[in-house]
Amino acid sequence: MSILVNSETRLLVQGITGSEGTYHSKRMLEYGTKIVAGVTPNKGGTNYLGIPVYNTVSEAVTETSANVSIIYVPAPFAADAILESAYAGIPLVVCITEGIPALEMMRVHASMPEGVRLIGPNCPGVITPSTKTKVGIMPGHIHLPGRVGVISRSGTLTYEIVKALTDAKLGQSTAIGIGGDPLPGTNFIDCLELFRNDDETDAVAIIGEIGGSDEEKAAEYVAKGYSKPVIGFIAGQSAPPGKRMGHAGAIISGGKGTAEEKKNAFRAAGIKVADLPSEVVPLLKESLR
């Protein structure tokens, strides 16, 4: 079993003919992802990378039964692209685009139909190695099928820790990059619940970062009773207060959202905390004994 994406995924790529859409569509196809449609306005009726292109998501869904959408649309148009997929009946929308204004994301959250899950924006996507299904920008070759779930706000740290897991023969059930946006569509708790109900995930690694309170909320959720071991790492431990580090959501404000606060919350919830990315593997191995 996997979560979110698997062999049943029928992917639609919004912005498939752009440079980013083209590059990553090729990589997803090479990995094994089933891409059934692309959407680029005014290019409907064409064929690109061997994939039919449509003018609208609604038309593409009707013709191909696409059930997952990924968005490589520039920031000024990305919020509308998310809603277009959501209202076309696609239950899972993954938005890679970064730089979407917070006001636009507030509009998206207020308008999202019930039953639609958004991953991102400003995220690397989702990958399930056992079914060779990659919806995003992650390097597929570093992943290995296995039983460790990975949830991360940081793309590059996801890759570093996944590579270390793979080198240690600790494969991944599914890896989810929820992104570093201040208003993500899916948070740590959402993912923890999905992994909790996945009988092929034995442990979960949470890769958090400074800013916001999502890690503290996840710790509260785990503290209420979580049946699987959870390992945590917090990025940005040397970040100065008031300065944004990398992601729009990674800012310490008013003494809140610091790495130390988040690590303390994890520890209080019984989550083993790695001080360095290299410590995640030993802590997982210890927890799985």
24 is catalytic: no
SS3 261: helix
Neighbours of 19 (CB within 10 A): 9
Q: Record the tokens describing residue 166, joined without a space.
A: 């793979």
Q: Which of 24, 141, 143, 247 is catalytic?
A: 247
Domain assignment present for 129 = no
Q: Give the pLDDT of residue 250.
A: 47
Q: What is the pTM of this model?
A: 0.93
Q: Record the tokens describing residue 242, joined without a space.
A: 């008031």
Domain assignment present for 127 = no
Based on the fold, state whether residues 43 and 174 are members of the same structural domain.
Answer: no
Q: Give the pLDDT of residue 180.
A: 86
Based on the fold, state whether residues 9 and 148 are members of the same structural domain.
Answer: no
Based on the fold, state whether residues 36 and 158 are members of the same structural domain.
Answer: no
Averages of pLDDT over each 10 residues, the chain, 289 residues:
90 98 98 98 97 98 98 98 98 97 96 97 97 97 98 91 97 96 94 97 95 93 97 81 53 63 96 95 94
CA distance readout (Å), 224 to 71, 219, 268: 35, 9, 11
Residue (of 154, 225, 229, 218) closest to 190 by Cα position: 218
Domain assignment present for 130 = no
**What is the distance, to the nearest Å, from the Cα of residue 101 to the centroid of all Cα atoms in its chain?**
19
Based on the fold, state whether residues 168 and 239 are members of the same structural domain.
Answer: yes
Based on the fold, state whether residues 221 and 281 are members of the same structural domain.
Answer: yes
Based on the fold, state whether residues 44 and 170 are members of the same structural domain.
Answer: no
Domain around 8 = 1-121
Q: Give the pLDDT of residue 177.
A: 97
Q: Give the pLDDT of residue 165.
A: 97
Count of domains in the chain? 2
Q: Which residues contact 8 (CB under 8 A, 6 or more apart)?
A: 67
Q: Give the pLDDT of residue 245.
A: 53
Given 121, 155, 186, the domain boundary residue is 121
